[in-house]
Amino acid sequence: MFGKVVDRAKQIRRSERFKHSVATPRRISLHAKQRLNRGVFAIEIKENSGFFSVMQMVLFILMFCEEKCLTPRISARGGLYGDAEGRVDWFAAFFEPVHAAAALPHTRKLRTSTVCDLVQLGFRQRYEHLLELDSASELFFAYYRPAGHVMREVDAICADLHIGASTLGAHFRGTDKSLEAMPVSWKDFCRHVEATLADNPHLTHVFVSSDEAGFLDYFAAWPFGKPVSVAPARLLACGATPIHFSGFPGLDMGREALISSLLLSRCGYLVKTPSYLSAWSRIFNPALPVKLVAPPRPDAFWFPDSRLWLEQQAREAPEEQEVQEKAA
């Protein structure tokens, strides 16, 4: 009985509603401070969560700036992906502004607000339901793009591993993701990949990425009948501990996460479990066909995977109805 009470208390503390309520005073103070910047929204992110969780914050900030006709000044220091002293702006290390107006520094003195969690901005409740995959991609690329040195590395890996339109990308997110998504066994995931290859004969090569070394070994040994390339990642999860909590150098983790997502975006088809990393592959490439093998949990039904799942369900419904009609 006591255990159930503790579990319920933890669930409440993890809920967006609870965190949003607790963060209300700080959120009010932040927006009051930013109004003093007269047309500029200056935010420094210092969040201890996954790389693409931070990218979600960036996306919400851009939506707010579009709505309010503000110029975004986004930086990210410290946290899991920066240095302990907070000297390195790791967002600027991986992304460059599309227009000079979005670049730092600015000639005018700005008041920068530091945020450690999305709830301190208050944007998820405001914008989550408005997000669409194509418009999110268009919005992000209107302001930022991966840095040139990142894209050169991606191009080199694609050439070396022959990643392209005939490649089926596969991404399996393991470790703690079961808290936010319905679990999928290694065997079932391989079956999904197998079925996708059978349905798409133009896919002649498989590229796999994962945070679990054991899964990668299992996948590479599966008899797909097609050559399999494994993502050249050096940093993998330590047991059940996620990569971003495994103590690896922050900039190295960020670089591998971004490159993995961009490599998957270069494939001709993507089969994946719920994950911000591979969901952002669709943001980086809006034309990428994606099969999500399981949905996020209802209390973590967040964009982009939420939209991917809903669109997939809408596509599959007429096909299932046609099968049933033929069977009748």
Question: Would the pTM count as exceeding 0.75?
Answer: yes
Q: What CATH number is attached to the domain comprising 241?
A: 3.40.50.11350
Structure confidence at residue 237 (pLDDT): 53
More confident residue, 209 or 180: 209
Do 97 and 197 lie in a common domain?
Answer: no
Do 183 and 59 lie in a common domain?
Answer: no
Over residues 150-164, the mean pLDDT reads 97
Identify whether 5 is part of a domain.
no
- Could you tell me the CA-to-CA distances from 308 to 153, 220, 229 in Å, in that order? 28, 26, 25
Structure confidence at residue 92 (pLDDT): 95
Strand ranges (E), the chain: 40-45, 71-76, 95-97, 113-115, 144-146, 167-172, 205-210, 228-230, 269-272, 290-292
Structure confidence at residue 76 (pLDDT): 95
Minimum mean pLDDT among 31-45, 73-87, 194-208, 296-310: which range? 73-87
Most confident of 77-86, 251-260, 266-275: 266-275
Dihedral (C-alpha) 22, 48, 157, 197: value to the nearest 10 degrees? Answer: -50
Q: Which residues constitute the domain of residue 100?
A: 18-146
Do 114 and 224 lie in a common domain?
Answer: no
Structure confidence at residue 316 (pLDDT): 84
Domain count, the chain: 2
Identify whether 9 is part of a domain.
no
CB neighbour burial string for 46-75, b if at least 16 within 10 angstroms, e if fewer: bbebbbbbbbbbbbbbbbbbeeeebebbbb
More confident residue, 24 or 215: 215
As a whole-number percent, the residues of the chain with pLDDT over 90 amount to: 62
**Digit-coded pLDDT (tens) for 285-294:** 999 999 999 9
Do 48 and 121 lie in a common domain?
Answer: yes
Identify whether 115 is part of a domain.
yes
Do 288 and 235 lie in a common domain?
Answer: yes
